[in-house]
Amino acid sequence: MTAAPFGFGGGCRRFEAAVFQQFLAALQGPCRLAAGTRLVVACSGGADSMALLQLLVLAAPALDLHLVVAHLDHGLRPESGEDARFVVSQADLLGLQCFVERENIAAAAAGGNLEAVARRVRRSFLCRVAERTDCSRIALGHHRDDQAETVLFRILRGCGTTGLAAMAPCDPPFLRPLLGFSRNQLRAFLHDRQLTWREDRSNRDLARTRNRLRHQVLPLLSEIQSDAPEKLAELASRAGRDEDYWRQMVDDWADCHVHSETDGAWLPLASLAQQHPALRHRIWLQLLRRYGGRDDYGEVHLVACERLLEAARPQLAVDLPGLWVARRYDRVLLRRQPPEIPGEWQIEVAAPGVYPLPDGRFLRLAFAERGRALGENEVEFSADQIRFPLWLRNRRPGDRFYPCGAPGQRKLKDYFIAARLSHEQRAGQALLVGDRILWVVGLRRCHGLVAGEGAKVLRCSLVRGAEGTKLLEKTTFSC
């Protein structure tokens, strides 16, 4: 199509006025756009995004909107540079700031899913522009026909009812105010205003599933049911309404049961397992998206998570894209990265003093007289029966331990299992060792080596954080 002026003169005709009023209602209704919002407009240069840009410019005075244009050149077509220059020129005509970046999407995909990678890179770019320009919302140009295609595509992939909701009009920071408009409506609007756009010839490539749905399947469905795209979009809208309810249920449950940490979260396994599968699957999906930082988790990932709950083994883990999910006895753990399993370590304890442990805690050893009550993380041994040097270390193959009060020795591994220590805790657990394992630090002392009343003892205290640092500094200074 040849270029036409981006004029505003002559006033809106009846059709244009109806389109504009419908658009304004979408912004203030389903999109929940507040007056005074700063907004990034994603603009490819195609008809849909140009209609979006034009309508937002018309709506800006009424809603006091501040608009910024953003265009990502995917580098997939020889003419993509011309698309970028076109968007810049149209933004200039409208007096809007425009941000353009070029990415080599083909290289980034490296044999993977090109469309998924392009979408992820594009969203990352739009979010960076929003942050740079202090914009709280990003407007996307998806319309009703896109919604119908998305519903069909997800049905073919075997989605659940969550997938049927397809694209939401408001999914902060993203807004889709054109979901109520057909492709033909938007092009008619541009024609009436004598506006131009760029055509992407890859949209006619029938090797792509979405293009086959657009050019072959939807037209065939429309022969059977003339308003098939509208009905599919209505299905998405009704499913979206139901998902809003489920989302509130999930949020309420998560507020009570999910415990966030710096590197992820944990939650009680029993509380999750007892939920109805419909709610539990949605809980899983929200957890994966929130802590995995991705929105492309699907049924195969949910099934893998469900197996953690069903397994007879008390410890099991699954590596998902961007997320490690594990069952550890009565807890479910979610981490961006699997925990590092420490190798063998050993610290010589040549004399009483303060010794730092690899996990950031400290062990203080001091001679004293038996008498005062011991704290929660303290043990003591008969000084006469202790010979230095002692050693602080983690487990070794073949370690055996005689716990205080137990009928006899057992494998350290069996003690760890009985104490319900996770694989990661077992690997890092500090042991105080002499001629035997004296103390599984912080958990259990060994049998025997008890001093008589008033006798000299070696008192061992587990100290945390800043208190231990101060003790270590004092020890170093006194030496």
Between CA 136 and CA 131 the distance in angstroms is 8
Between CA 450 and CA 380 the distance in angstroms is 8
Between CA 80 and CA 118 the distance in angstroms is 14
* CB contact set of 172 (below 8 Å; sequence gap of 6+): 137
* CB contact set of 353 (below 8 Å; sequence gap of 6+): 364, 365, 475
DSSP 155-167: HHTT--HHHHT-S
Tokens of 21: 């009023």
Written as one letter, the residue type at 471 is L
State yes or no: 45 annotated in a binding site.
Answer: yes
State yes or no: 442 annotated in a binding site.
Answer: no
Tell me if 100 sits within 8 A of 122, measured CB to CB: no
Q: Roughly what angle, to the nearest 10 degrees, separates helices 277-292 and 299-310?
A: 110
State yes or no: 202 annotated in a binding site.
Answer: no
State yes or no: 254 annotated in a binding site.
Answer: no
264: left (phi over 0), alpha (psi -120 to 50) or beta: left
Between CA 355 and CA 347 the distance in angstroms is 8
State yes or no: 405 annotated in a binding site.
Answer: no
User: Between β-strands 315-320 and 323-328, what pairing exists: parallel, antiparallel or unpaired?
Assistant: antiparallel
Between CA 207 and CA 84 the distance in angstroms is 25
Nearest to 43 by CA among 85, 95, 106: 85
Q: Is 62 helix (H, G, I), strand (E, B) or coil?
A: helix
Q: Is 365 helix (H, G, I), strand (E, B) or coil?
A: strand
State yes or no: 47 annotated in a binding site.
Answer: yes
- Report the Cα–Cα distance between both ends of the chain, in Å, rounded: 85
Nearest to 474 by CA among 354, 348, 358: 354
How many CB atoms within 10 Å of residue 391? 14
Return the H-helix or E-strand segment holding 400. Answer: strand 400-401
As annotated, the binding site for ATP includes 44-49
Q: Which residues are annotated as a binding site?
A: 44-49
